[in-house]
Amino acid sequence: MTKLTNLTLAEARDGLKAGDFSAVELTKAHIDAMEKHKDLNAFITETPELALERAQASDAKIKSGDAGAMEGLPIGMKDLFCTEGVRTTAASRILDNFIPPYESTVSGNLKKAGAVMLGKTNLDEFAMGSANITSNFGSVKNPWGENVGKDLVPGGSSGGSAAAVAGGLALAATGTDTGGSIRQPASFSGIVGLKPTYGRCSRWGIVAFASSLDQAGPMTKTVRDAAIMLQSMAGYDVHDSTSARVDLPNFEAALSGDIKGLKIGIPKEYKVDGMPQEILELWKKGEEMLKDAGAEVVDVSLPHTKYALATYYIVAPAEASSNLARYDGVRYGHRAEGELKNLDDLYMKTRAQGFGEEVQRRIMIGTYVLSAGYYDAYYAKAQKIRTLIAQDFEKAYEQCDVILTPTCPSEAFGIGENEDDPVKMYLNDVFTVPTSLAGLPGISVPTGLSASGLPLGLQLIGRPFDEETVLRTADVLEKAAAFSAKPKMLEA
């Protein structure tokens, strides 16, 4: 039998149903893997007792024929989702000991579906970062590091989730994507990462970064697993005013394997200067794979793409500065101690101590672009450009059904590299940010290896609420690419 930690979500689900192993056995195998690979720093808070308790309950439900869609499946939960009675930190000192009295809608949906939470995964502080190095709890290591003999970043901000899935510590994990925080770490870590359409999954109970961009999604080993997990995560929520009241299709049933006649758009603007040749070659290879499967490849134009990164780094920090104003040391979270002159002094000292450098940088940028003299010059203009970016996609979808691009402009880089240059770090999101600004569904599929033997992903972007076509195309691409490489640590 395949090692339990090597199973996909679908295989584990079917194995539990067939009685090949129990939910407790499956959960124990992952708890052991978490213990063995603590050096990855993938989790901030581990919950083994809670996981075993839920696994026992799952075994009883499976036995009685009352199993949910994710019954008994052990997963990681990004530490941005509020979990009732379980510490939720957003990887920040300011929320170091925060224990929510309520459950986020997405984690609650997964719980109802029977998923077993192994713990809360590490991330960039308040989801601000592309490398998982800004966490107050230390950097996460990419499981692929051993393959090249150095410590690599797993991507960010959902780096702990990516490392947990790629390293076999969890069957799957939740992530959140504001500008690429699911897709980029998925590419760096050789897994599948799906950002659904904005509004597909509720944001209620997720610690907010940028409210008009944040979206929860699954991080899994396969496209089928992403479809299975999204089914349990998604749905309309009365608690979230941005949650969409749309039908929830059967995502797994959409994986028909047939993309004959589908039109795949290739945006010329994504061929950026200085992009490594191996990324361009992989992109071309992806085109050929989809063409061989019966799809038609067409050229499309997204002319405002060149403004996307600048637009994002005005809109997201502006919303962050507003959202993070609630952390003031008064009602919950870290509070500055010692001699405090007045309330302003409490606010300033609490925030200076509680927020890390990157978070402070983004709050300051956001406050600046929202300030009286600069609002029109920056924020108002960025919102107009955002509309133009969304319109570019609308026009492109008049000619095609799905758009194919690289996920990232590079492979995973070493921990410590690019840290002294925030702009270089922000460039990691150059291909993922436009999708987020337009609120569209996008998925990263591992498609090949770089010259140094590290995973590279390709991204598929779809029309709003057309995750079915995105998943169907991704499934075909995944099968054609037949990506089977694994981190060396899984061989042990």
Q: Which residues are known to be catalytic? A: 78, 157, 181
Place of tokens 């270089």: 424
d(CA 367, CA 314): 10
d(CA 139, CA 124): 8
Q: Measuring CA to CA, which residue among 192, 212, 181 is closest to residue 91?
A: 181
Number of H helices, E strands in the chain: 16, 11
Residue 217's Cα: distance from chain center in Å?
6
Q: Measuring CA to CA, which residue among 208, 281, 215 is closest to residue 243?
A: 215
d(CA 154, CA 150): 12
Angular region, 19: left φ>0, alpha ψ -120 to 50, beta rest:
left
Output the six-digit token pair for 355: 């927020």
Question: CA quadruple 412, 117, 206, 353: dihedral positive or negative?
Answer: negative
Q: Measuring CA to CA, which residue among 98, 70, 316 is closest to residue 214?
A: 316
d(CA 455, CA 20): 32
Alpha helices in 337-431 (DSSP H): 343-354, 357-370, 381-396, 422-426
Helix, strand, coil share (%) of the chain residues, nearest 5 = 45, 15, 40
Map residue 202 onto helix, strand or coil: coil
Output the six-digit token pair for 108: 């609650």
Q: Measuring CA to CA, which residue among 347, 349, 328, 327 is closest to residue 338?
A: 349
d(CA 130, CA 250): 32
d(CA 334, CA 166): 33
d(CA 227, CA 39): 30
| Phi, psi dihedral angles at 203 (to 5 degrees) | -95, 0
- Give the H or E element holding residue 121: strand 116-121
119: β partners = 46, 76
Place of tokens 């994504």: 270
Q: Which residues of 104-113 are buried (b: 16+ CB within 10 A; e: fewer)?
A: bbbbbbbbeb
Q: Measuring CA to CA, which residue among 183, 85, 74 is closest to residue 121?
A: 74
d(CA 115, CA 107): 9
Identity at 334, one-letter amino acid code: H
